[in-house]
Structure 1
């Protein structure tokens, strides 16, 4: 576990609203304020789903640009910019457009199709359910866009088969290590959020230079992050994934969640990566 911990924050997601959590940022200036809190508390990467100023999810170039410009004005190169490409019903060409135009340092790349749902045991019913389609055709097209624009992919894997989907891309030579592989755990339809499954997923990553980390969804997050830290992985926190601190109190900002993740890393005997160290580990220029 010689590598320091790359601490990422996913600031808003596309689904949550202020009715659920008042700290969700909507406007570019609110994203910038959250970016400052993230950087100040030890985070080095910010994962962005764009919104319009009224909070409506957006995949428009101008909204990603306004948010990114505001973040850069606030923290400069103090955070690695990471754009989401995960969305239901959004055309491939739309995602390619904002990647090509704005060229973030990192772009999330979902590695397989799946049932994607949230289930309520209290209601005995699904809160929502959908098919999250990520065909190999779409994966390779998005990857080609990232390669041609110098964006490093972050491979988001919701199950162990998604990790195995890296194999053909490596064999074709369209992926260049070091890889960044993230295990998304806790989504109904994906792998169960257990410490044993963190270890299982980590063992599936191809034997090439890589960084791996855990994205824990909902309140199972903190145990998953503890498992990742003990096994040498990186961690992601943020209001996209979970609103609550381990004690059950709702976070007042993304900074609260980053601060707790940073403390967990240090308590586990790990060092936090600086932003320059993180760029070097991920193969960013």
Structure 2
């Protein structure tokens, strides 16, 4: 029996990775080229943060539109997953505050053009420590409001899961009818205050998920990314990489591009005997059906 194709997501930029760390694409033109190369090497989903001209994170809907427009001009096939996460510039004090749902998504992010509309939007479910100085804030009312916007605009929320409690939150939101079946999960292992990146932890997390769902696993950092990808494939899940998540292709060797990171995981899939999903196959696997959108 043939094995199900594995969907590779590439997080090409992030909002924290700097040029001192990796050759991360910052401008819309650079992002479009990087996305094209990642797709050519096996990615099916592009996870998109945007940056300003100075390289700092941007929360401007117009910047999302510029990036998506440039990307679609070069290659029209990928699934696009936008990220609304960003730093709360109003916060004062030694701590740095981020919000997983800081950007309230709107159709302006794709210029109100249905042909540019992304398929997915990342969704943070809880508040937690990201590092020793950074707190990510996600009040329940912000989460519920973002979910409403995501569905109203015809997108699918992908729930970021840093620990077991996030799964519980997602299931409660499903029970209340706020989230809808089938759920889409990104299981994140190895973060500062999240669940540890072990095969046992990943297997346990997967057992807590509802039967009718789709999940991708991510090991944070170069120490865990390849390892968790391998465990995810063996458990029947999908995988993610990119300069937002890691910067090395192997110990001591920095990646030259997002495409090189994708090719690394593609080689892993081939080693394990799994085909790579094309964007169209990914849409079929994930049951992507465009929904009518409303304007915000």
TM-score, L = length of structure 2: 0.87
Aligned to 1:184: 188
Which residue among 214, 229, 240 is the counterpart of 1:211?
214
1:242 aligns with 2:246: yes
Task: Verify the 8 A CA contact 1:59 1:98 in the aligned structure 2.
Answer: no
Residue 92 of structure 1: how far off its partner (Å): 8.6
Task: Verify the 8 A CA contact 2:189 2:218 in the aligned structure 1.
Answer: yes
Structure 1 runs of 4+ off > 3 angstroms? Answer: 90-94, 97-101
Which residue among 206, 225, 229 is the counterpart of 1:225?
229
Aligned to 2:20: 19
Gaps of 5+ in 2: 89-97, 111-116, 290-296
Partners of 2:184 and 2:285 in 1: CA distance: 9
User: What are the residue-to-residue correspondences of 1:30-179 with 2, within 5 Å?
Assistant: 30-76=30-76, 78-89=77-88, 95-98=103-106, 101-102=109-110, 103-117=117-131, 126=132, 129-179=133-183
Aligned to 1:122: none
TM-score, L = length of structure 1: 0.90
What is the SS of the residue equivalent to 1:266? Answer: helix
Aligned to 1:267: 271
Partners of 1:191 and 1:265 in 2: CA distance: 24
Which region of structure 1 is more displaced relative to structure 2, 67-76 or 48-57? 48-57
The verdict on how the C-alpha distance between 1:68 and 1:223 changes in structure 2, with shifts beyond 3 A counting, is: same
Partners of 2:38 and 2:108 in 1: CA distance: 26
Residue 230 of structure 1: how far off its partner (Å): 0.8
The verdict on how the C-alpha distance between 1:111 and 1:70 changes in structure 2, with shifts beyond 3 A counting, is: same
1:79-101 CA deviation, whole Å, 9 max, x = no partner?
11111122232679861244664
Task: Verify the 8 A CA contact 2:62 2:109 in the aligned structure 1.
Answer: no
The verdict on how the C-alpha distance between 1:112 and 1:139 changes in structure 2, with shifts beyond 3 A counting, is: same
